[in-house]
Amino acid sequence: MTGFALGAEQEEWCGHLRALAADRLRPLADKGEPGRVNRPLLAALGELGLLDRVFTSGALELCLLRESLAYGCTEAETALALQGLGAHPVLSSGTPEQRARWLPQVRAGRAVAAFALSEPGAGSDAAALALAAVQDGGVGGGGWRLSGEKCWISNAPEADFYTVFARTGEGPGAKGVTAFLVPADRPGLSGEPLDMLSPHPIGRLSFDGVPVGPQDLLGEPGRGFRVAMDTLNLFRPSVGAFAVGMARAALDATLAYTAARPAFGGVLGDLQAVGHRVAEMATRTEAARLLVYAAAGAYDAGSPDVPRRSAMAKLLATETAQYVVDHAVQLHGAVALQRGHLLEHLYREVRAPRIYEGASEVQRTIIAKELYR
């Protein structure tokens, strides 16, 4: 890849992924139940080797993967991304035993992972989380018991294991947070689904003295916030790629529609107001795409400014996708508001990425702090 364009092999791979999403994954997604984990879809992602790519790819390749799947099947993209988000801490900070137990199952689409960070009172301010890990004999001795609640957790309560961040108290704020791998069958762990705007599964988890031991640690005690941030720094640009994929799908649908829709003796695209609107949509989408690729490239190069670049990429791409999808709906008119229309689907999907993995306001705060550092 140059600074401004993908190579021929990358373009070919992205085209292959878009075709897979439309032809192979879209039918499986359509058979799924909104708000529930679609295990046949996950199995197909595993069979196609796409889940494995999440754990073996660099940040740029992850972005291309997510953008291409999002263009043709947002459900497949989200299912893949949630597996990566939930299991990446196991890959980066887990023990050999944890990796051997869970990662092959995740890569095959047989085990469902979840990233459990947010709480009712600690969403944007993740360092303020309150889930308590109280020292106890626990599992295997020298363990903890988890008590509290997690909320707005993707794949909950149907995941097979959770990457859970809890307060162990080694220090104030982020310095007293520890990451644990918690299998879903641990006693005291329960959950319920939440009825949300976006169609992927999201739920609440309750921890009633859930036992965890040293063998469940992801990294060191008191270093869990770094585990969370390392994961988010990798995935934030690819959230932007997800948004770019949706924006490109909305833009292409708008170009096709306005080029064919009769209006005022011609077609909609002949109207200057429409042409200018589409030009703005395309320009913003391209700018967001390039910023996402630049952030991913910085991550792959080990650049020290990854937090700033990742935040910029997520901010611009998610805000741009909201703009593009909204204007695509406007240019289509009432037809785009019908249940089952591509843009009706994208309109529901596009709103959440401006909130999860750090809301747009949080991204601006990160950018400002990095600039003044």
The helices-and-strands tally (H runs, E runs) of the chain is: 12, 10
Residue 21, classified by CB atoms within 10 Å of its CB into exposed (0-12), middle (13-18) or buried (19+), is buried
CA distances from 109 to 117, 306, 310 (A): 22, 30, 28
What is the amino acid identity at position 359?
A
DSSP 52-87: HHHHHS-HHHHHHHHHHHHHH-HHHHHHHHHHHHHH
Q: Does 149 participate in catalysis according to the annotation?
A: no
Detail the DSSP E strand segments found in the chain: 113-116, 132-136, 143-154, 161-167, 177-183, 189-193, 202-212, 217-218, 262-263, 266-267
Residue in the structure block whose two tokens are 């702090």: 369
Work out the angle at residue 79's Cα, subtended by the Cα atoms of residues 229 and 9, and round it to the nearest 5 degrees.
85
Catalytic residue of the set 149, 170, 357, 361? 357
List, by residue number, the catalytic residues.
Answer: 357
